Amino acid sequence: MKILKASERFHANLGWLDAHQSFSFDHHDDPDRSGFRDLRILNDDTVMPGSGFGTHPHRDVEIITYVLEGAIEHKDSMGNGRVIRPGEVQYMSAGTGVRHSEFNPSKDQKARMLQIWILPDTKGVAPHYAHRSLRYAPTGKLHLIASKSGRDGSISIHQDADLWLAKFEPGQAVGTSLAKARYGWVHVAEGEVVLNGVTLSGGDAAALSNPTELRLSANNRSQVLLFDMN
């Protein structure tokens, strides 16, 4: 298990955007931090009121957005438009090409979201959009957000990767394991948890490899993402 502390992330403050980046991104070019397996980007973005990402293109990337605070308004060239709120997940497979914008529609409240990019196993697919709400998902359990097969009501993505969400109240715990030849990335979105005896706070992450038993327990109200990858 290798730990990435929140303070070790790349940081960019553009005034309208305060971004903490787990991996090399934009003008932060570090070949030793260019992702983990097929997880390419994990940005913790705080967008100021009335600001956002203007319309821009993407191609051949699986984009997942999880809102933690405030709201983000999405519009894309496929004709989709939606306001994403805390506890909601948005998925966009850019495929052959798509243009989209992400905007904080509030006049006085910041918006905070996790922006996730996963490299697809197939290029040139038709662009696709999906949405799922986990706002009222029970605490103390792992919930499957996305998977290759779309099993158990999860969003189907173009990669052999499972993305799980665990929401905790203080004292709650969950256990799981990685199968042989699988890799895991645990990201603490907020709160404080103990992973296999190691305390992780908001923004901290852990990289895991090979068959690994995982136990997560919460010291306070927390949210954790678990990526299970080939």
Contact 130, 155 (CB under 8 A): yes
Instruction: Name residues of the chain where pLDDT drops below 70.
Output: none
State residue 32's pLDDT score.
86
Which tens digit of pLDDT belongs to each residue from 32-53? 899 999 999 999 999 999 999 9
State the Cα–Cα distance between residues 196 and 215, nearest whole angstrom. Answer: 5
- Cα(117)–Cα(157) distance, integer angstroms: 11
Q: What domains can you pick out in the chain, each with its CATH number?
A: 9-133 (2.60.120.10), 141-229 (2.60.120.10)
The pLDDT score that the predictor gives to residue 225 is 98
Residue 30 confidence (pLDDT):
86
Give the pLDDT confidence score for residue 26 in this predicted structure. Answer: 79
pLDDT of residue 170: 98
Closest by CA position to 93, among listed 116, 67, 69: 116
Alpha carbon 62 to chain centroid, angstroms: 11
CB 97 within 8 A of CB 58: yes
* Predicted pLDDT at 41: 97
What's the confidence (pLDDT) of residue 108? 97
pLDDT at 58 (0 to 100): 97
